[in-house]
Amino acid sequence: MENEGKPYFKQMNNRKACLTSSNRGVTHASSRAARAHSIRVEYAPDMATALVIIDIQNDYFPGGAHPLVGPVAAAERARELLEAFRAAGQPIVHVQHVWDAPDAPFMRPGTAGVEIHPLVAPRGDEPVITKDDPNAFVSTGLDAQLEQFDADALVVCGMMSSMCVDSTVRSAVEHGYTVTVAHDACAAPDLEFGGEVIPGATVHAAFMAGLADGYAEVVPAAQAIAAL
């Protein structure tokens, strides 16, 4: 069978003919719409790769309300990505989760825990998209902001691997973006299932494996930087 063994989305892409160089003038909206229907196109040369940093906030660090496994190391890799994108003049979007509910256990508005961690703090006019859903595209201006940047591809990092990173990456693909995930710039918590504690490193690896199976290129931060 054609493309047997390849991830589902890659099979779908490979079954469509690539458009020729005569389509280089295709608009941002139409090119993304085409990829959303599994057609490969050649994009206008002025389109950008945007860095999307998801929820690297104080509550996920030691002393916070919901500490993850290995958040400092992940944030340090995210900082390297952030500095590289700044140096390259490529667009950057920060995403911040705000859980505005009376019984919210973390990311509560007005607390130190909800603030973006200093390692990846926004600078200047870098936009910050606030959200209250795991999917950063839901009821936010993220897609509109990326369109303003003429971003066709995304590099994604952040927290948690098992929740907001996973949800946002899958949604980004469905919106027509090409996505790269910097796996060592993401972190996850220990989780419990069936009476067993699943270590955060295992949780993280499982979700990265799922995303790598057709949704995104999942690479170390250094490799994503080298591709800029």
**Could you give the 3-state DSSP secondary structure of residue 217?**
strand
Is 186 part of the annotated catalytic residue set? no
Name the strand (E) or helix (H) holding 184: strand 178-187
Give helix then strand counts, H and E, for the chain.
7, 8
CA distances from 70 to 8, 136, 159, 163, 185 (A): 31, 23, 11, 16, 10
Catalytic residue (choose from 18, 157, 164, 186): 164
CB 145 within 8 A of CB 93: yes
DSSP secondary structure string for all residues of 22-51? GGTT--HHHHHHHHHTT---PPPTT-EEEE
Helices (H), ranges, 62-181 = 71-88, 142-148, 166-174
* CB atoms closer than 10 angstroms to residue 103: 6
| Closest of 224, 49, 36 to residue 151, by C-alpha | 49
φ, ψ for residue 7 (rounded to 5)? -55, 150
* Residues with active-site annotation: 164
